[in-house]
Amino acid sequence: MIERPKILVVYYTQTGQLKRIIDTVLGPLQDKATIVYEELKPLQPFEFPWKKQVFYDTMPETVLDRPRGIEPLKVNPDEHFDLVILAYQAWFLSPSQPTAAFLHSEIAGRLLKGKPVITLIGCRNMWLNAQERVKSYLQKAGARLVGNIVLVDKSPNLLSVITILRWSFKGKKEATKWLPQAGVQEKDIIESVRFAEPIAQALENKQWDTLQSQLMALGAVDLLPNLILLEDRGIRAFRYWSKFISAKGGPGAPERQGRVRMYRGLLLIGIFVLSPIAKITSVFKLALNKSKLQEDVEYYKGTRLR
């Protein structure tokens, strides 16, 4: 009897959105492969819905890559897998803390070494910087990134900021008279089933070289050039504020809450006042720097690490 290929899926999800994406993409693979799920569980859960101050207070350690610990994994680190799927979401332009905690762990090094890995991202729309960090961890672990699938909220940028904050703080995802539903569009989740076929083929032939180009041909990564510019600005500001806030103490420290409040106010001004300005300047930058930006778009769509 031919043994079925084995897939390990490592994931964390707060609202269940990412698990739905995983289940849709992997649905057709259920009877072709043995799939082992490893859900990452923070030692102290991140509460959902979030208290506002806690949400913003989570930024510094997320950006500085000092995640809260996770519970020990159930999977045997020496078990053989033919493919690892790392499903994660971006938090503050970085991998979410449970994802980062996994990547830091000794067991991740053992599980990932020499393995083909597909990253599966479900986020608002800003994931480039997070993926660069994940790529560099994978490289250090000796893993091979063979595919990247990204599902984002396709609503206009500022609208999706409003809906994600409403969802995060109030737990309300549904559309209103004025706002669309928060999160990745239902249709996009349902249609993500199309990525199963090239993954199944690659798994069967153990041939990973062309997987990402096949996934891209199916629209696995859709990237707006002006978001590259916005992320670049955003991550610089986050790095500055992370150091400034964490200089006053660790997560939740009363001494740093004044600084967290300052950053909270400025972040909202930054998003709602500066980001439309950034959008206009990006039009000029796009016109002047078109070939460089086009190069960046191609780079971020791929799996290579610069």
Ligand X SMILES: Cc1cc2nc3c(=O)[nH]c(=O)nc-3n(C[C@H](O)[C@H](O)[C@H](O)COP(=O)(O)O)c2cc1C
Residues binding ligand X (CB under 6 A): 13-15, 17-18, 55, 58, 89-93, 122-127, 164, 168
* In the complex, least distance from residue 266 CB atom to ligand X, rounded to whole angstroms: 16
Nearer to ligand X among residue 208 and residue 238 (C-beta)? 238
DSSP the chain: -PPPPEEEEEE--SSSHHHHHHHHHHGGGTTTSEEEEEE--BSS---SSPPHHHHHHTHHHHHTT-PPPBPPPSS-TTS--SEEEEEE-EETTEE-HHHHHHHHSHHHHHHHTT-EEEEEEEESS--HHHHHHHHHHHHHHT-EEEEEEEEE--S-HHHHHHHHHHHHHH---S--SSSPPSSS-HHHHHHGGGGHHHHHHHHHHT--TTHHHHHHHTTS----HHHHHHHHHHHHHHHHHHHHHHTT-STT-GGGHHHHHHHHHHHHHIIIIIHHHHHHHHHHHHHHTHHHHHHHHHHHHSS---
Q: How many residues would you count in the chain?
A: 306
Residue 65 in tokens: 């890559």
Nearer to ligand X among residue 122 and residue 147 (C-beta)? 122
Nearer to ligand X among residue 11 and residue 81 (C-beta)? 11
Nearer to ligand X among residue 92 and residue 137 (C-beta)? 92
What whole-number distance in Å separates Cα of residue 38 and Cα of residue 153? Answer: 25
Nearer to ligand X among residue 111 and residue 161 (C-beta)? 161
* In the complex, least distance from residue 195 CB atom to ligand X, rounded to whole angstroms: 17
* In the complex, least distance from residue 252 CB atom to ligand X, rounded to whole angstroms: 15
* In the complex, least distance from residue 136 CB atom to ligand X, rounded to whole angstroms: 18
* In the complex, least distance from residue 75 CB atom to ligand X, rounded to whole angstroms: 20
Nearer to ligand X among residue 17 and residue 282 (C-beta)? 17
* In the complex, least distance from residue 62 CB atom to ligand X, rounded to whole angstroms: 7
* In the complex, least distance from residue 257 CB atom to ligand X, rounded to whole angstroms: 17
Nearer to ligand X among residue 73 and residue 151 (C-beta)? 151
